[in-house]
Structure 1
């Protein structure tokens, strides 16, 4: 027997190129499959899941859809007590909300849940609803999948359960993501570390920490929102400014010290200042409200801090105000 170098059969260049192309295509398809199995959170939502192939996040809303066959996934954030109430009722064999009738225990990436097929507003002979109620202890999430007849073959029950089992609840939404939902840009946070959405796409609060109670005790905060009011006539603006100032929460013994028109961002505006006492700790606080009028809506900014730290806080407040512009 002759021992020598192992012969390597030659491959024609055309066959080699074809083989490499097929290998590249296989890798590309594999990468695509991996991307299809990534966890997705709709913009502004704390609830996310791994959508099935062809299911994408809704552009303007909290949920997912397959535009080809009209399958929809609706997401709703609820207080944790909503899950606790259903959990207790099921354990004690008491009545539960219609949406959770005949629910079964179900496990998700976020934790324990209940799955129900009780149906919903779109249920019927040609539509089936499968929904879960889940909680991470801080909030609850209701995730409902509406499966029309046209989508049933593409998404069998096991696939729907697999998607629901991937449901996750994130602890917080990045500040930039929350701000991206607003109809205006906030380019300067002036040192505020926490952004919390109060009404998606309409109102946020800026805080120095995660402790919202601290704001009621005098820690600086800013509430930025869109008020669906207009003030086309200058003589209406003082009345509107004072009325809105009287609705600011967390204050007692409030006294308006000034209320006057001013230009904000080159447009008509109004500044109202208030001296008050915080309800939480009876601490003297100073508050400023800015209104920036335009079209059928008004940008409203309410900022407050303990009176002892007002000069420094007011500088920060103005920096945020002056960095707000329409998209």
Structure 2
């Protein structure tokens, strides 16, 4: 599979995400605040506090700022992909053209618009920025009925404070994830996805555009909780929505309890959407306390034990 292409797709998917969970903590800052393990930060608007479930900030009125880091080379591809027409299917209705956004030691583009989701209307900003430490996607969404708590001017001011610091080590970034991996089962951690996901592989390449190595992606939820009676359908829909695959055929599905968590696991056979080559897939979704962690393992090379080891890794994932 193509991790780099998947990161760009992940960026588009994040633009569509709304309804992040928020908490009531008060917070104030005068200097850029960097989420744990992150290389990008900003001075959040008054009343917004660091989030525990994702890399970013939150407000009790429902506003959120999500920071997602990507490789330096991702900037050009994301800017090219992010057009008003391309973003419209995600539900993000861009107003006007993207505007330049000044970033110390780098550059940026800012999209402004709105989005309706979960019965609410949001004012939305999406900034794609590049600095010395890499590329970042900064997504801000404010419910229209929360304008008094988080004003447009406060958001615009915050976006002008986006800053980068020296890249944190992978170990430091992993320590800030909302989950722990007890057993990597022979896979090697490669890169974070935002502040809530991790890519692992097996093999010498850190970037594998030809899809010659197995890999595992672990990602924590950023959206609203999934009701218990909807979890089974949600897990199956998530598997069938993997954009890099086609002809997905589920071969096995199980439901189990893991402590306080409910776990849904699917094994499937599929084909690479671009090359048509066969791919074995496993997906484990761990639902607990209103959130979930999703673990996807893919074997594009037919190595016999990849799926079993990906399942072993998934079985060791626990919430922090």
Tell me the TM-score normalised to structure 2 length.
Answer: 0.50
2:259 counterpart of 1:259: no
Match of residue 179 from structure 1: 174
CA–CA distance in 2 between the matches of 1:249 and 1:275? 14
Deviations 1:58-108 (A, max 9, x none): 976679xxxxxxxxxxx98685449x99xxxxxxxxx994644xx9xxxx9
CA–CA distance in 1 between the matches of 2:240 and 2:68? 32
2:319 counterpart of 1:326: yes
* Alignment match of 2:300 (pick from 299, 302, 306): 306
CA–CA distance in 2 between the matches of 1:237 and 1:207? 28
Match of residue 45 from structure 1: 38
2:293 counterpart of 1:289: no
CA–CA distance in 2 between the matches of 1:293 and 1:167? 34
Bigger radius of gyration among the two: 1
CA–CA distance in 2 between the matches of 1:268 and 1:81? 40
CA–CA distance in 2 between the matches of 1:253 and 1:45? 37
* Alignment match of 1:210 (pick from 206, 215, 227): 206
Match of residue 229 from structure 1: 225
1:128-143 equivalence runs, <5 A: 135-136=131-132, 139=135
- C-alpha contact (below 8 Å) 1:230/1:295 kept by paired residues: no
Q: Report how many aligned residue pairs link the two structures.
A: 205
Summarize the Cα distance change of 1:41–1:286 in structure 2 as closer, same or farther, 3 Å threshold.
same
Q: Which has the higher contact order (CA 8 A, sep 6+)?
A: 2
CA–CA distance in 1 between the matches of 2:68 and 2:257? 40
User: What is the SS of the residue equivalent to 2:228?
Assistant: coil
Greater helix content: 1
CA–CA distance in 1 between the matches of 2:56 and 2:238? 30
1:5-154 equivalence runs, <5 A: 43-46=36-39, 80-81=75-76, 97=99, 99-100=101-102, 135-136=131-132, 139=135
User: What is the SS of the residue equivalent to 2:302?
Assistant: helix
Summarize the Cα distance change of 1:76–1:267 in structure 2 as closer, same or farther, 3 Å threshold.
closer
Q: Unaligned stretches of 5+ in structure 2?
A: 1-32, 42-48, 58-66, 81-96, 108-128, 139-160
2:257 counterpart of 1:248: no
User: What is the SS of the residue equivalent to 2:209?
Assistant: helix
